[in-house]
Every structure is written in structure tokens, then in C-alpha cells.
Amino acid sequence: MLVSANEAAAAIAEHISGSTTEFAKLMTKRAKELGCTNTQFKNPHGLPNEEHYTTAHDMGLILTEAMKHEELCTTSALRPTDKAGEASTEKSPCSKGRSVTIKTNKSCSWQ
């Protein structure tokens, strides 16, 4: 979504939580608040870690929330299309009338 800046993610995490480990705990807590049931973060930047995991469904929930923030829309490479899905949708500043679709069979697509 964004050009890699692992050192920036680590610096922000340390500033907010004192360490990348504590920030990852906050990330996991927030994911649970969004309804994620199969997500655990171990670092703030997404670099590989055997204990760091998520699912496509959970990432769809996280993306739906993230797209509510105009900052992401202006800095990311997300470019939605006008296609409609056969599922519930949620509008966002990124979509300009388009939507993220989380399909009822727990698959997720960015349309």
C-alpha cells in the first residue's frame, strides 16, 4: 500500500508505546476491537515473524476501517473501481461513492 519505511514504523511505535513489542500489542488489541478473530501482530511494520499472522477476512476488516481515514487515501496506491458486489458495503473517503466489499462467505475484495 505504501513505500516501505520500516524504520519510521519502528520510531512511531517506540514513541507511542515505548517499544515495538508494546505497540504490536496495541495493534492486536485494536484488530480485536474491529472484529478480527485470527490476527496477531508482533511488530509494527509487517516484517516476517513466525508469531505474526492474520487472515484475508481480518485484513478486509482492517482495510475497511483504514479507508475511513483520508490520510491513507492520499498516501496510498489504492485506486477503487465502480464495480458493485453482492454483499454489504461501507462507504469511505477513499471510495468517493464506491465501496469495499466484505462478502458474506468471508471472502474480501477491493472493488
pLDDT in tens, 45-89: 988 899 999 999 999 999 889 888 877 777 665 544 434 444 444
Extract the C-alpha cell encoding 37.
478473530
Question: Average of pLDDT values for 1-20?
Answer: 86
pLDDT band at 4 (very low <50, low <70, confident <90, very high): low
C-alpha Rg value of the chain to the nearest Å: 15
Burial of 30 (0-12, 13-18, 19+ CB in 10 A): middle
